């Protein structure tokens, strides 16, 4: 039953079986109850809705995985200047330029309470932005994870990207692109002089693309990039709108790589539906690790022990993967040792299970110990 209580009741006014006592509507002859009145002037704004959700702890879906930068299975806290390097799971440092930067998971508390950030440090400067040069941090979202955003249709949703940033003063760019790199949306993020090298939080609201091809399967659906250096080939003066192009920076883009020792930090990243982003919530570590393991898994000191009555025969060991992966992964082995064995190979690989084979070199017991990784990254 719905009640539309009077907005400005008089003391003692009766409505149905309720009476106004000056503070609340009270059930006559029974327990005092609160009342909710709804009418058009009282519709909440988007900001009030976000605050209401936060007050009652109803979290909106965050399409970003590992936005708290807590998970770094492959590289842990190691700093490196390799291209296509994952300083943390799901975030990749990719570049083509003349300098050198190290990227890493950096253990410093964020404003939302995460213990880690993604940090990029300039080791060798690149003082000019060549036309085709770039250094970007990318995050790729699987099509299945974002299918409900309806990209490429008239029902495409509006989303808000929220992220923390620490960087020198300047203009940085954030871009949204499809996998085919023929649809792009570029926005600016300005760090004022008074904000230089301090933690700031920025939001970018994007009405998602109603045209173009957007994957809704287990391949890449949406690419989000933060530009530290991008040359004119990939720059645009047309901001905050979708274009049929592969662009990732504005014409105002600063050259973060110009000075040795410059530090760029990214943290507390969320992408949520709607025009207002709720406060960032640090996710449960175990749950976030499971999400990351859909794309990458690391195993240490895995053993296969087998007996063979004849010499020179391949024997097998099966591993059920901790989390089913996005696709059949590529496998890599390291730190492998044998007892009466050799020739370790991945024999059968599926999203749920891997079979490892090795050669028992003489009749009897064969043992292999190895570390291995399963890579099904986008």
22 vs 289: CA distance, rounded Å: 53
Q: Please state which of the ranges 18-32, 93-107, 141-155 shows the lowest mean pLDDT.
A: 18-32
91 vs 227: CA distance, rounded Å: 13
With respect to residue 205, please indicate whether it lies within any of the assigned structural domains.
yes
209 vs 149: CA distance, rounded Å: 10
With respect to residue 311, please indicate whether it lies within any of the assigned structural domains.
yes
For 29, the domain range is 14-43
- pLDDT for 18 beyond 80: no
Q: Final residue of a domain: which of 252, 268, 292?
A: 292
With respect to residue 148, please indicate whether it lies within any of the assigned structural domains.
yes
322 vs 153: CA distance, rounded Å: 36
- pLDDT for 103 beyond 70: yes
Tens of pLDDT, residues 29-80? 655 455 444 455 556 776 676 666 655 555 689 999 999 999 999 999 999 9
Is there a single domain that holds both residue 128 and residue 260? Answer: yes
Is there a single domain that holds both residue 128 and residue 161? Answer: yes
Is there a single domain that holds both residue 218 and residue 363? Answer: no
Q: Final residue of a domain: which of 271, 292, 313?
A: 292
Is there a single domain that holds both residue 108 and residue 202? Answer: yes
Report the pLDDT value the prediction gives residue 54, as an integer from 0 to 100: 59
Is there a single domain that holds both residue 284 and residue 304? Answer: no
Is there a single domain that holds both residue 301 and residue 274? Answer: no
Q: Final residue of a domain: which of 292, 312, 345?
A: 292
The answer to whether residues 232 and 132 touch, using CB atoms and an 8 Å cutoff, is no
Q: What is the DSSP letter of 276?
A: S
- Give residue 347's pLDDT band: very low, low, confident or very high (50, 70, 90): confident
- Tokens describing residue 214: 């957007």
Q: What is the pTM of this model?
A: 0.85
Is there a single domain that holds both residue 187 and residue 110? Answer: yes
With respect to residue 74, please indicate whether it lies within any of the assigned structural domains.
no
DSSP string, 84-112: TEEEETTEEEEEESSSEEEEEEE----TT
Q: CATH number for the domain including 339?
A: 2.60.40.2080
Q: CATH number for the domain including 149?
A: 2.60.120.260
Is there a single domain that holds both residue 267 and residue 305? Answer: no
* Residue 208: CA count within 13 A, CB half-sphere: 27
With respect to residue 76, please indicate whether it lies within any of the assigned structural domains.
no
The answer to whether residues 119 and 87 touch, using CB atoms and an 8 Å cutoff, is yes
Tens of pLDDT, residues 287-325? 999 999 999 999 999 998 888 887 778 888 899 999 999
Is there a single domain that holds both residue 179 and residue 327? Answer: no
347 vs 355: CA distance, rounded Å: 5
With respect to residue 3, please indicate whether it lies within any of the assigned structural domains.
no
With respect to residue 9, please indicate whether it lies within any of the assigned structural domains.
no
Mean pLDDT of the chain: 91
Is there a single domain that holds both residue 161 and residue 279? Answer: yes
- Tokens describing residue 27: 């059930």
> Distance of CA 262 to CAs 109, 117, 118, 256, 362, Å?
20, 16, 14, 7, 58
With respect to residue 344, please indicate whether it lies within any of the assigned structural domains.
yes
- pLDDT for 1 beyond 60: no
Is there a single domain that holds both residue 124 and residue 29? Answer: no
Number of domains into which the chain is organized: 3
Is there a single domain that holds both residue 346 and residue 255? Answer: no
């Amino acid at each position: 039953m719905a009640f539309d209580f009077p907005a400005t009741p008089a003391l003692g006014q009766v409505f149905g079986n309720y009476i106004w006592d000056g503070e609340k509507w009270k059930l006559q002859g029974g327990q005092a109850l609160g009342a909710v009145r709804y009418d058009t002037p009282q519709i909440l704004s988007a900001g009030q809705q976000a605050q209401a959700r936060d007050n009652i702890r109803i979290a909106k879906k965050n399409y970003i995985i590992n936005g708290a930068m807590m998970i770094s299975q492959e590289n842990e806290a190691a700093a490196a200047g390799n291209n296509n390097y994952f300083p943390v799971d799901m975030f990749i440092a990719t570049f083509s330029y003349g300098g050198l930067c190290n990227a890493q998971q950096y253990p410093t508390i964020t404003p939302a309470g995460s213990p880690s950030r993604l940090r990029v440090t300039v080791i060798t400067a690149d003082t000019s932005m060549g036309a085709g040069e770039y250094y970007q941090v990318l995050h790729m979202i699987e099509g299945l994870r974002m299918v409900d955003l309806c990209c490429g249709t008239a029902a495409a949703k509006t989303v808000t990207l929220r992220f923390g940033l620490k960087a020198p003063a300047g203009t940085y760019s954030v871009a949204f692109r499809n996998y085919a790199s023929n649809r792009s949306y570029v926005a600016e993020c300005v760090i004022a002089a008074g904000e230089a090298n301090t933690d700031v939080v920025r939001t970018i609201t994007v009405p998602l693309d109603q045209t173009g091809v957007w994957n809704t399967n287990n391949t890449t659906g949406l690419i989000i990039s933060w530009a530290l250096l991008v040359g004119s080939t990939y720059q645009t003066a047309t901001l905050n709108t979708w274009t049929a192009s592969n662009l990732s920076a504005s014409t105002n883009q600063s050259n973060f790589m110009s000075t040795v020792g410059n530090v760029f930090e990214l943290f507390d990243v969320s992408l949520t539906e709607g025009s207002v982003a709720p406060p960032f919530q640090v996710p449960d570590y175990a749950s976030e690790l499971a999400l990351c393991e859909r794309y990458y898994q690391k195993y240490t000191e895995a053993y296969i022990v087998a007996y063979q009555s004849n010499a020179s025969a391949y024997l097998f060991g099966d591993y059920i993967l901790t989390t089913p992966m996005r696709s059949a992964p590529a496998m890599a082995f390291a730190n492998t040792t044998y007892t009466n064995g050799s020739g370790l190979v991945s024999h059968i690989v599926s999203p749920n299970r891997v079979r490892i084979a090795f050669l028992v070199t003489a009749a009897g017991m064969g043992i292999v110990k190895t570390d291995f990784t399963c890579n099904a990254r986008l």
